[in-house]
Amino acid sequence: MNNSYGTLFSITTFGESHGPAIGVIIDGCPAGLDVDEQFIQAELNRRKPGQSKITTQRQEEDAFKILSGVFEGKTTGTPIAIVIENQDQRSKDYSHIAEKFRPSHADFTYEAKYGYRDYRGGGRSSARETAARVAAGAIAKLFLKQAGVEVYAFVSQVGDIKAPHYTTLNLSQTEDNIVRCPDPATAEKMIDLIDQVRLERDTIGGLVTCVIKNTPVGLGEPVFDKLHAELGKAMLSINAVKGFEYGSGFAGITLRGSQHNDEFYAEAGRVRTKTNFSGGVQGGISNGEDIYFNVAFKPVATIMQDQPSVDKHGNETTVSGKGRHDPCVVPRAVPIVEAMAALVLADFMLRANAAKKFNT
Amino acid sequence: MNNSYGTLFSITTFGESHGPAIGVIIDGCPAGLDVDEQFIQAELNRRKPGQSKITTQRQEEDAFKILSGVFEGKTTGTPIAIVIENQDQRSKDYSHIAEKFRPSHADFTYEAKYGYRDYRGGGRSSARETAARVAAGAIAKLFLKQAGVEVYAFVSQVGDIKAPHYTTLNLSQTEDNIVRCPDPATAEKMIDLIDQVRLERDTIGGLVTCVIKNTPVGLGEPVFDKLHAELGKAMLSINAVKGFEYGSGFAGITLRGSQHNDEFYAEAGRVRTKTNFSGGVQGGISNGEDIYFNVAFKPVATIMQDQPSVDKHGNETTVSGKGRHDPCVVPRAVPIVEAMAALVLADFMLRANAAKKFNT
Amino acid sequence: MNNSYGTLFSITTFGESHGPAIGVIIDGCPAGLDVDEQFIQAELNRRKPGQSKITTQRQEEDAFKILSGVFEGKTTGTPIAIVIENQDQRSKDYSHIAEKFRPSHADFTYEAKYGYRDYRGGGRSSARETAARVAAGAIAKLFLKQAGVEVYAFVSQVGDIKAPHYTTLNLSQTEDNIVRCPDPATAEKMIDLIDQVRLERDTIGGLVTCVIKNTPVGLGEPVFDKLHAELGKAMLSINAVKGFEYGSGFAGITLRGSQHNDEFYAEAGRVRTKTNFSGGVQGGISNGEDIYFNVAFKPVATIMQDQPSVDKHGNETTVSGKGRHDPCVVPRAVPIVEAMAALVLADFMLRANAAKKFNT
Amino acid sequence: MNNSYGTLFSITTFGESHGPAIGVIIDGCPAGLDVDEQFIQAELNRRKPGQSKITTQRQEEDAFKILSGVFEGKTTGTPIAIVIENQDQRSKDYSHIAEKFRPSHADFTYEAKYGYRDYRGGGRSSARETAARVAAGAIAKLFLKQAGVEVYAFVSQVGDIKAPHYTTLNLSQTEDNIVRCPDPATAEKMIDLIDQVRLERDTIGGLVTCVIKNTPVGLGEPVFDKLHAELGKAMLSINAVKGFEYGSGFAGITLRGSQHNDEFYAEAGRVRTKTNFSGGVQGGISNGEDIYFNVAFKPVATIMQDQPSVDKHGNETTVSGKGRHDPCVVPRAVPIVEAMAALVLADFMLRANAAKKFNT
């Protein structure tokens, strides 16, 4: 099932950028959970277009309806269907690319794979699909909150501008600025850079860092479904992502084992590590320390410039820069990264629980 | 099923480092494929311990037996079971760590998750499990070969020593030296560094690059099971991997869209791209260009030095450096990366084929 | 994923009897298929309540909306979301059973499993969920039609009244009467019996027979996912089903092998069987003969009579006969059986196709 | 994955009738379970050929080896691989049918599906595969035993000879005779009938009834993965099975709702039902009463008589009765039915447990 993610706490998304609606079915959420609809909307608002001067100006309220699985404000253990209608579609913006392949978009590969496609705004390949993930992720967050687990993502780099290491930041300040970097000075520079890139009718890449706190020990399954392997897949499934690293990540290449190993010690009856190059995961299983990882985003493919390309008949053509798009994807990617992280964690919570009381 | 990977061309591995045997069941391999047993053994030999001075000196022949699914030299479409017996086990080497948690190993997390574990050599968490993957990957490679798809991995970095970009290398030279870097001059430096690290009773990290050539257009499924997301998960599921990037990867963060976009052009009836920052995948689907990605490995956790730690009772203790281990994992990781890449590709070949003739 | 069925051509349903809507996501339908919306509505009409004097009088138009996956009348290969709003809900009919367990309903088991439930009309356990299956099944039928595969179900027994063997019937006459039995004389007796049972404020069981014609040879997977095993699961997942048999079925118990074996012969280059006790499936794989099977339905649990029971606090109570219900479920079950059969077949069509061109 | 069964407590089987070995991987069994190897062997002995005068005389010890997942007598939570070598293969018995299609066997459908097959003894389609299921089922039984759940199957019918209803029988007497019917008088008649059929070089069908006692309330998932739907699939996946019914089954067709409904009452703080037409399952979920079901087996297809058929080239031919086969499959099917029932229950135990502590 290509449009589903998760084993026990699972989601299935549907919908195209310019169709009637997008949405998601969440299957496997435990029963009796209070569904805070205001929180779900607030999460959607963090992702929605038109929220600030550095995002696309497409206007979508992203108002959602819950069609099932919730009774008198609580989950019932049955599938939760959430639908978000598309409003500001302007499909005409896309008639000029019905037969053209936009560079570094999915137009060509969809055409080749399916032979028939909804070209409007990228159809299914549009990042609009991630609104459904954010709605589902909000439910996952409500579930995790009960268990004390907290998920924080923020923008840690735009172009060459980098934020300090997460351990030096106050992660509760992420929402204080429109670029979602909890370091105010860095945030300002990032916003200026994005604004400049936008004026140049260009786009730029960025990095999102995610930190998960208070994870119970024992989440993740050995061998193929390692906790960090699923986090990696979940992140790489987000539009425009090109890389994933956790703990020491790529920097670990140049370290010695004697530097990199995280020494164990005991603290208040818990086994802890002094350093955390492991990123909170050892052998694919959470060890109770902070889980942290980086997600690299490429520059948005749609630029406000003419680009040479070919059409579906193989003829040379030019793709003009039209429509409304983001100059940099990372400010809106923050809630998406959090949503996918929350979904991965919620799923592993249930998976770990399945055998727990039977293990002796 | 936590020990399985793949949807249609799938594998399930079993076995512990010091149990009677390890092995794999390959389910879904098409019928009628010639099974070249010498090739399978050659692949296992590339991964096996004791192959050179820069790998662990544990001696394992890694001789395999096929128990099912092959009749008169050809696959029958039924599950192929492959078993590799463990020989040079020296379980006693591990009695000293039966109750101790080795730093940056999976000892603590397994103990916490299962309550009961085979501590000998890490048991199930040992990289010995990857021999089963290599055997299965050899079958996948034989399958891909029929379709013309080729998978090349090589060591592109050890510590600070880096090989040139893959497009400048002759990938058929990878096996010419013991570190598996196709650039002879770089290989020499890498070998020297690993040898030095070994003498210091320490370990060091490295990078493996993988290139897949002649992939058909249309592999990969949109949204969650994007081709690169599955490649990422597959790589991150390999022991000691800390990061994955494809195409422009983390370097894409600092690029502009106008630099990063891959312009389309037509060549001999095929749609091609002039550059390949996309890494051969657009919208999660292969576009026919080279697929290439990097896999970051941390330094091996077992070092020949005493390290402070705790035991399962929470008492402070010291873990001594004993046993036989690799000073750097990447030379032996090359065939593992190739095996997992081949398994991902084989699976997507079947998945893409399922609906193909029905698409109109 | 508990609310999903199918491997490659898959569905996920959602919705409760008295919530805002029910619906389904179909994932994996090939691209380019013409979506005949009138046909989908016609199929829903065959299942909808209030269609005749022998069905429940609840009024639901069961009008559907397609939210995704279809562009300009054709499928795009992306998930097809279909929503059916609930209209005639009368939730008040159910306030009297909010805390009571109706005999032979799912009230008690849901309460015990989830601790919290939508009691209105049985919530998720209501057969109303099957409307979503019928909508999805209509898409599967359109897909199968292209391949020439035809699915026919009909009522073959109500109480003691039995129709003749299917090979003697004209299956195109099934829709000619309200009980959906293609033998007019038998149909009349069935209708009279159901009407009499209804007047007695009681209910009665029945049997649905299904015949699938023109199935390609080779559908079904050996061992666990045998074609008839999946058909059995699919049928047993329909509300009120108590039994499944295919081919000779339970009658095969008393036969000798020499009577039961289906002799092969060659006809026009095809391998055929003279008899068909195998029911078109051998070793779990279709052999090209008619697939036929029987599905036994119990009498509907809701009767218009007072019944002793207990409430959720363990107190003795009485459940009164209220609401609007079917005296016999089989006339409306016919399109549901067809829908599930079509979904099973469509899935196996894709599964068989996945490896086909690679088998040598 | 066509050769796997189960979601959390899962098995994957491999092996052909006349290959080197058959076997199974059990993935998901909780850690710390005592593995009673004598019990596993005893279960295999109940299924093995040559055990009495009314079974095939093929001699197989069915001795097994555990290759992984068990350490010092206890499960570790990692995959348990079990291998059974084939010994008395006599492949030459089958050279005469290398190109012929035996009536009502899987020879033709395998040939058509795969194009290439191991014809010896039916290869993968042989019921020899069920030994692997019995070994895995023994582990599942050990797991269920800890939770107090008990699984009893027995032969309830051979040809026309029927045993009384299970509630009147002493199910601990099943192993007291070679036909495995706990009613001694009926058993004698069954044995006589099978012996007579054997002398006539023919075969006959039979029925196995299975009763599961002390199931916790709440097993089974609504909608598609209903407890009885999975039991049905599991049973229908056993070689030679033609039908499945649970609770009232096909007899429920002729009952009225007022007869069939199971009235609830309270007993010692538990909700019970006075009758049990529901067969222990309501809305797909266990209600704590006995789960019971019937499994219909056709007469074995191999008979000691010449039968007309065709070969793979479409030529008319004769299949001669050779080899060593069972005149009636049900005595040896009893442990297979129990094994599959135990695997289904063990899986649902874990699935139910996954969300349990989170339901509020």
Residue-wise pLDDT tens digits, C228-249: 999 999 999 999 999 999 999 9
Residue D187 pLDDT: 98
d(CA B8, nearest CA chain D) in Å: 6
Q: Does D219 touch chain A (CB under 8 A)?
A: no
Q: Do D358 and A353 touch (CB under 8 A)?
A: yes
Residue C236 pLDDT: 98
Q: Do B74 and D13 touch (CB under 8 A)?
A: no
Q: Does D224 touch chain A (CB under 8 A)?
A: no
Alpha-carbon distance of C279 to C229, in angstroms, equals 13
Residue D41 pLDDT: 98
Alpha-carbon distance of D199 to D189, in angstroms, equals 15
Closest Cβ–Cβ partner in B222, B351, B355 for C30: B355
**Minimum Cα–Cα distance from A358: chain D residue:** D30
**Minimum Cα–Cα distance from D32: chain B residue:** B116
Which residues of chain D, if any, have pLDDT below 50?
A: none
Residue B91 pLDDT: 62
Q: Is B279 exposed, middle or buried (0-12, 13-18, 19+ CB in 10 A)?
A: buried
Q: Does D229 touch chain C (CB under 8 A)?
A: yes
Is the confidence at residue B89, as pLDDT, over 70? no
Tell me: the pLDDT tens digits for B236-291?
A: 999 999 999 999 999 999 999 999 999 999 999 999 999 999 999 999 999 999 99
Q: Are strands D264-267 and D270-273 parallel, antiparallel or unpaired?
A: antiparallel
Is the confidence at residue C18, as pLDDT, over 90? yes
**Residues 6 or more apart in contact with residue A245 via CB below 8 angstroms:** A293, A294, B242, B243, B244, B245, B250, B296
Is the confidence at residue C92, as pLDDT, over 70? no
Q: Does A265 touch chain B (CB under 8 A)?
A: yes
- Please compute the mean of the pLDDT values over residues B194-216 and round it to a whole number: 97
pLDDT cut 70: percent of chain A above it: 98
Q: Do D243 and C242 touch (CB under 8 A)?
A: no
Beta-carbon contacts below 8 Å between B and C: 63
Write the ipTM: 0.97
Q: Do C355 and B355 touch (CB under 8 A)?
A: no
Mean of the per-residue pLDDT values for chain C?
95
Is the confidence at residue C209, as pLDDT, over 80? yes
d(CA A72, nearest CA chain B) in Å: 32
Locus of tokens 């009348």: C73
Chain C, residues 318-347, CB within 8 A of chain D, namely none
Q: Do D354 and A359 touch (CB under 8 A)?
A: no
Mutating which of C219, C223, C225, C358 best tests the B interface, going by the most B Cβ atoms within 10 A? C358
Confidence class of residue A330 from pLDDT cuts 50, 70 and 90?
Answer: very high
A26 alpha-carbon distance from chain centroid: 17
Chain B residues with CB inside 8 Å of C78's CB?
222
Strand partners, D71: D74
Name the helix (H) or strand (E) containing B273.
strand B270-273
pTM of the prediction?
0.98
Alpha-carbon distance of D265 to B274, in angstroms, equals 76
Mean of the per-residue pLDDT values for chain B?
95
d(CA A213, nearest CA chain C) in Å: 27
Residue type, B246: Y
Residue B352 pLDDT: 96
Q: Do C10 and A22 touch (CB under 8 A)?
A: no
Closest Cβ–Cβ partner in C31, C33, C351 for B354: C351
Alpha-carbon distance of C22 to C81, in angstroms, equals 11
Q: Do B118 and D71 touch (CB under 8 A)?
A: yes
d(CA A333, nearest CA chain D) in Å: 30
Chain C residues with CB inside 8 Å of A12's CB?
1, 4, 12, 25, 27, 79
Tally of CB atoms within 10 A around B92: 9
**Minimum Cα–Cα distance from A16: chain C residue:** C68
Least confident stretch, A206-215, A222-231, D96-105, D336-345? D96-105
Q: Which residues in C37-188 belong to E strands, given as ranges?
A: 64-66, 70-71, 74-75, 80-85, 150-158, 161-162
Q: Does A113 touch chain D (CB under 8 A)?
A: no
Residue D57 pLDDT: 83
Chains sharing 3 or more CB pairs under 8 A with chain D = A, B, C
Beta-carbon contacts below 8 Å between C and D: 358
User: Which token pair is C358?
Assistant: 């690679």
C168 alpha-carbon distance from chain centroid: 23
Residue C59 pLDDT: 83
d(CA C250, nearest CA chain B) in Å: 30
Is the confidence at residue A153, as pLDDT, over 70? yes
Q: Do C81 and A21 touch (CB under 8 A)?
A: yes
Confidence class of residue C81 from pLDDT cuts 50, 70 and 90?
Answer: very high
Concatenate the DSSP letters of all residues of A214-275 into one string: SPPTT-S-SGGG-HHHHHHHHHHTSTTEEEEEETTGGGGGG-BHHHH---EEEETTEEEESS
Chain B residues with CB inside 8 Å of A225's CB?
2, 237
Closest Cβ–Cβ partner in C30, C78, C355 for B359: C30
Q: Does C14 touch chain A (CB under 8 A)?
A: yes
**Minimum Cα–Cα distance from A223: chain D residue:** D78
Q: Which residues in A7-149 belong to E strands, given as ranges?
A: 10-15, 21-27, 64-66, 70-71, 74-75, 80-85
Q: Does A31 touch chain D (CB under 8 A)?
A: yes
Is the confidence at residue A160, as pLDDT, over 80? yes
Q: Do C30 and B360 touch (CB under 8 A)?
A: yes
Q: Does C148 touch chain B (CB under 8 A)?
A: no
Q: Does B154 touch chain C (CB under 8 A)?
A: no
d(CA D328, nearest CA chain C) in Å: 9
Alpha-carbon distance of B257 to A18, in angstroms, equals 24
pLDDT cut 70: percent of chain D above it: 98
Confidence class of residue A90 from pLDDT cuts 50, 70 and 90?
Answer: low
Name the helix (H) or strand (E) containing B14.
strand B10-15
**Minimum Cα–Cα distance from A281: chain B residue:** B109
> Is B130 in a helix, a strand, or coil?
helix
Residue A97 pLDDT: 81
Closest Cβ–Cβ partner in A242, A245, A310 for B252: A242
Q: Do C116 and A76 touch (CB under 8 A)?
A: yes
Domains and CATH numbers, chain D: 4-356 (3.60.150.10)
- Please compute the mean of the pLDDT values over residues A61-66 and round it to a whole number: 96
Alpha-carbon distance of D349 to D143, in angstroms, equals 10
Name the helix (H) or strand (E) containing B211.
strand B206-213
- Please compute the mean of the pLDDT values over residues B96-101 and round it to a whole number: 88
Residue B322 pLDDT: 74
- Please compute the mean of the pLDDT values over residues C35-44 and round it to a whole number: 98
Confidence class of residue C93 from pLDDT cuts 50, 70 and 90?
Answer: low
Q: Does B65 touch chain D (CB under 8 A)?
A: yes
Q: Does C69 touch chain A (CB under 8 A)?
A: yes
B309-347: b (≥16 Cβ within 10 Å) or e: bbbbeeeebebeeebbbbbbbbbbbbbbbbbbbbbbbbb
Of C63, D6, B141, the residue nearest A354 (C-alpha): D6
Alpha-carbon distance of D344 to A317, in angstroms, equals 59
Torsions phi, psi of C146, nearest 5?
A: -60, -30
What CA–CA distances, in Å, run from C174 to C155, C208, C245?
8, 12, 21
d(CA C8, nearest CA chain D) in Å: 12
